[in-house]
Amino acid sequence: MAAAFAEAGAAVTLAARSGHEIASVAEAIGRSGGQAEAAALDVSDLDAVTRFFDERPAFHVLVNNAGTNRPKPMINVSEADYDAVLDLNVKSAFFVAQACVRQMLAARIEGGSLIHIGSQMGHVGGPNRSLYCASKWALEGMSKSFALDLAPYGIRSNTIAPTFIETPMTRPFFEDTAFKASVLDKIKLGRIGRVEDLMGAAVFLASDASSLMTGTSLVVDGGWTAE
């Protein structure tokens, strides 16, 4: 998504705890002629989040993309599991958006766009996904409320709800052939998602092409939720 924004002409800031990974992405964007910087940030540290936004000019677009999952049957979920998933997927997303919006308002940014990376699991249920579903359904409701609060300022809030996307974090799950088969059975287009599948959706929601869209979700799921 960062690469897609840079290709569209945006100056991009990548933020994550794993500074070396985003630094390599920023360097690759730069080699391709784009503008990008990398910043180490733990979004679970809310003081650090505030400093991060205070130290930079206001952004026009925010992609809320930090997330985690602890898949297990609900009867096995611990309080630590609950806190880990809900704190990152919901609490951090809320306060990152809040800090970003405060700077947008102070700078009188027009046409700001908040893009929260949700999931198809924010629209349906799934076995062993009670925490993840809880967090992604919460994100959908949170974004809708943001949309109503921020509409008077011309700031939009939407989600992208992908199916399973192959990334370094999800790849180990697909080593379980039975699990992979169950996923492919649900994805009617017959393949696991790729990160490139989200590039168009992200650019669309960041751009004036979606200027009348707020409080809704782009579901990029290969037909999973169509049944």
Distance CA(15)–CA(34), nearest Å, equals 17
- CB count, 10 Å around CB of 2? 22
Distance CA(144)–CA(190), nearest Å, equals 31
DSSP codes joined into one string, 169-222: TTGGGGGSHHHHHHHHHH-TTSS-B-GGGGHHHHHHHHSGGGTT--S-EEEEST
- CB count, 10 Å around CB of 200? 13
132, 137, 146, 164: the catalytic one is 132
Please confirm, yes or no, whether 82 is among the known catalytic residues. Answer: no
Helix (H, G, I), strand (E, B) or coil at 126: coil
Q: Please give the span between the terminal C-alpha atoms of the chain, in angstroms, as a whole number.
A: 28
**Which residues are identified as catalytic?**
132
